[in-house]
Structure 1
């Protein structure tokens, strides 16, 4: 069975459920590759021979994001900040002191806007819902930022990848693979630089945290 036949055999509903489920669980606070799944589904929708709809992909991602964030908000409001202490000890790579400190700093500076813009940042996409609940943000404000952020992130990502996929097919008919390769390398480089910058900020905040909590030795 070749790739074309395999892709055509995938029911569109299964794609929508997968997108909504993964994005929802990630928004709940569990580290999953929600953005990768969304981008992959959007690319499938740009394939003219497949029945996957870009509208269906975007709507599924929005619903998953809103529901997942709302459940995460409820969990954070119920258990408070001690929840992140326990998660930090168990999953330091995702909920370490630096991650929480960075998220808290952004919440303190931007308020509910951190929920909106957090949808576009991997660290905040996982923490925004539970942390907003733990910090006792009013739910109506949270919901407005949650829904608007989900629509802009999911809808914008789906539209961008969909039209990029269509354009790529046209480019490949006119140009060589070199142009596509350059575009891919540029996108990957930008993503890596953004991740490195975020990781550097997290590392600095973790170092500050451990300096403050380190026991003072007697002279």
Structure 2
């Protein structure tokens, strides 16, 4: 399936939800997108904006319900992280090649210091916008703080894409190419970081550097 076919598939799915549920359908679509990151919010949100420009749904209601959907999806992943918990996470990491339990400790220390900023700004970064909820749950970030930060970050992200679709009208799909470029940058950065991590950790093992 090529990109245009995928775009059409997601668009048809989102349209069906909005035709059935109105603005609430846009929120449901975004909630599902949070749980399944391969579903692109960069398609759902501009399409919802386009629907608002045609009078099919009300713009402010779309903005409210898409933000609600983002929070609901994020809370589900937060719950997954809370269920996982630090102890279970350590046991999993201890069985993984090239990983150390101390990696979890360093991550916990980093999240304790920067977690609020990570949750807020993470909501505006493709891929991470969903995944950031899991470490927040593992570390049991206060639920009210997590919810408010998620709502604020999501509201900014959603408003940008919904309004772009509203203003572009029938050309709403043009946003996809710019969103794809941003996602490509994020994926490339992740691959580079993982590659550096693997090389350094393998070098430590070969050289017999003591693990910490």
TM-score of the aligned structures, taking structure 2 as reference length: 0.66
Secondary structure of the corresponding residue to residue 137 of structure 1: coil
Which of 54, 59, 78 is equivalent to 1:54?
59
Range with bigger deviation, 17-26 or 69-78 = 17-26
Aligned to 2:6: none
Aligned to 2:137: 133
Aligned to 1:90: none
Q: Which stretches in structure 1 are left out of the alignment for 5+ residues?
A: 1-5, 87-100, 169-179
Q: Which stretches in structure 2 are left out of the alignment for 5+ residues?
A: 1-11, 93-103
Shift of 1:165: 2.1
After superposition, the Cα gap between the structure-2 partners of 1:218 and 1:161, relative to the gap in structure 1 and judged at 3 Å, is: closer
Secondary structure of the corresponding residue to residue 141 of structure 2: coil
Aligned length in residues: 179
Aligned to 1:123: 127
After superposition, the Cα gap between the structure-2 partners of 1:39 and 1:83, relative to the gap in structure 1 and judged at 3 Å, is: farther
TM-score of the aligned structures, taking structure 1 as reference length: 0.64
Report matched runs for 1:64-143 at 5 Å: 64-80=69-85, 110-143=114-147
Shift of 1:25: 2.4
Aligned to 2:149: 145
Residue by residue, what CA displacement relative to the aligned partner does 1:67-89 show, whole Å, maximum 9, x if unpaired?
Answer: 11112112101113666998xxx
